[in-house]
Structure 1
Amino acid sequence: MDEHDIHERINTLVEREHALRAALAEGKLSAQEEHAELKDAEQKLDQLWDLLRQREAKRNAGLDPDEADARPVGEVEGYRQ
């Protein structure tokens, strides 16, 4: 997956977040459903942003960015900001 593909997935997930919030506001989803689906989307977004950072780091180090792999959610979510 290259940067273009990653950015497309990020955009899709951001649109999903907006749709979930709208569905909650319109009463189409319960708060629990919205929260669960938002958490899933946010975790996937975190993985994708991490993958972009890995690719950039590899490129800057003269390595092949295609060797970067998505890390598990538990690992990505455990990072300190």
Structure 2
Amino acid sequence: MDDQSIHQRITELVEQEKQLRQALQDGELSGEEEHARLRRAEQSLDQLWDLLRQRQALREAGKDPDEASERPVGEVETYQQ
């Protein structure tokens, strides 16, 4: 996945988050369902941001950014901010 595709997917997930919050507010979605779906979207966003950081680090090291790979949610979620 190239940088443009990653950014496009991030934009889609941010829009999905907005739609989920609106659906909850409109009573179209239970709080539990909204929470579960938001959590999945947030996890995917974390993975995508991590992938972008990996690609940038590889570029800066003079390597091929396509060597970057999506890491598992459990690994990305445990990073210290």
Normalising by the smaller structure, the TM-score range is over 0.9
Aligned amino acid, residue 9 of structure 1:
R
Q: Is 1:33 aligned to residue 33 of structure 2?
A: yes
Superposition TM-score, scaled by structure 1 size? 0.99
Aligned amino acid, residue 31 of structure 1:
G
Distance 1:25 1:35 in 2: 13
Report matched runs for 1:9-20 at 5 Å. Answer: 9-20=9-20
Match of 2:77 in 1: 77
Moved over 3 A (4+): none
The count of corresponding residues between Structure 1 and Structure 2 is: 81
Structure 1: 5+ residue runs without aligned partners? none
Match of 1:68 in 2: 68
Shift of 1:66: 0.3
Report matched runs for 1:45-64 at 5 Å. Answer: 45-64=45-64
CA RMSD of aligned residues (A): 0.3
Structure 2: 5+ residue runs without aligned partners? none
Aligned amino acid, residue 35 of structure 1:
H
Superposition TM-score, scaled by structure 2 size? 0.99
